[in-house]
Amino acid sequence: MESPMPLRLVRFLLAAYPRAYRDRYGAEMAAVLEERMASWRDLLDLARGALDARLDPQIEPPRVLAAAAATPPTAPHVAAPTVRASYGVVASGPPIRELNRRTFMRRVLAAGVALLSLEFIGGTLAFTWPQVRSGLGGKFSLGTTADIIALQPSWAAGWPYPYTTARLFLINVPAAKELALGHEASIPNPRADQLLALWRKCPHLGCQVPQLCEALKRFTCNCHQSTYNILGEKLKSGPASRGMDRFGVSIGGDGVIVVDTAQVTAGAPNLGPNHLTFSDPFPWDAACR
């Protein structure tokens, strides 16, 4: 229980005392603590003492001297307090501004009010900040169809083009249908209404949907095996209740494909095989393995 307290901690605690205290008593207190092999109970006692010294400083010789000097001449001279400067060092040293209880409380209050208003003002400003226009909600230029084919030649044959910055698959719809049906096609210039931007966030729990599986040309989420056809329509397998969500796609005058991620269309609900706009040759309930 009387395990010694590290010297560093002792110094730290002494530093918590007000300046005037340290000047006056610091050296002897340190000497006492070294002789005593201060225990952890002393630590608490010191912390309490430091708090006490801050709240109710009992030591203020310089101020007493100053007050005595400032006594107006009208006051009877005999009544002036006799100031005992019994120790020379502190009394003759530079005046030390001591924090009294009232000032301390006032400063704590002021700091609290300042902090509160800062939070309030900061919160208000944060609300007026413009909405983020990059990331989700922004518009993304994916380049022309030629650019995409240069990056990924299989896109012309129907393989989805993963655009990772916006977490989407750009689908070349006519080519994709041919691919899913098992045909080889090359459709390098689909129109804007033949493009589909599928959000790669599974509508079930938000996992990222991986690239098509080779065997069925279907999307299957790794998390819970929700399965979608090549146009992102939900098939039987897996718990998702609707198809993959879609972003708005347009082609600008310069041929650049632009995806607007602020414009989201929810995938069609999972109503059964007759409600799909496209059926691949595999059974409705088949899932990628």
Partner 1 sequence: MPDDPRTGDLGRFAEPAMLVLVSLAGGAKHGYAIMTDVESFGGAAIGPGTLYAVLARLERRGLIEPLGPQERRRPYRLTMDGAAALDVQLQEMGRFVRAARARQPGTAT
Residues of the shown chain interacting with partner 1 in the complex, contacts defined by CB under 8 A: 21, 24-25, 27-33, 35-36, 38, 41-42, 44-50, 52-53, 58-59, 84, 86-87
Nearer to partner 1, 82 or 274 (CB): 82
248: which strand partners? 260
Q: Which is nearer to partner 1, 74 or 86 (CB)?
A: 86
Q: How far is the CB of 50 from partner 1 (least distance, A)?
A: 7
Measured CA to CA in angstroms, residue 61 lies from 39, 64, 171 at distances of: 32, 5, 85
CB closer to partner 1, 10 vs 231: 10
State in angstroms the smallest separation of the CB of 44 from partner 1.
8
- Which residues lie across from 140 on neighbouring strands? 259
Contacts of 187-191 with C-beta under 8 Å, sequence gap 24+, read 187/156, 187/158, 188/145, 188/146, 188/149, 188/156, 189/145, 190/145, 191/251
DSSP letters of 37-85?
A: T--HHHHHHHHHHHHHHHHS----HHHHHHHHHT--TTS-GGGSPPP--
Closest separation in Å from C-beta 93 to partner 1: 15
CB of 18 to partner 1, least distance (A): 11
Q: How far is the CB of 90 from partner 1 (least distance, A)?
A: 11
Nearest to 1 by CA among 29, 41, 31: 41
| Minimum distance from residue 6 beta carbon to partner 1 (Å) | 15
Nearer to partner 1, 57 or 232 (CB): 57
Amino acid type, 94: P
Is the Cβ of residue 47 or residue 266 nearer to partner 1 in the bound state?
47
How many whole angstroms separate alpha carbon 213 and alpha carbon 230? 10
Strand partners, 251: 257
Q: Which is nearer to partner 1, 82 or 128 (CB)?
A: 82
Q: For residue 196, count CB atoms less than 10 angstroms from its CB and return exposed for 0-12, middle for 13-18, buried for 19 or more.
A: buried
Give dist(CA 230, CA 240) in Å, integer. 16
- Is the torsion defined by CA of 49, 50, 55, 60 positive or negative? positive
Q: Which of 249, 248, 222, 224 is nearest to 237 (CA)?
A: 224
Shortest spacing between CB 89 and partner 1, in angstroms: 9
Residue number, 93 or 122, with CB nearest to partner 1: 93
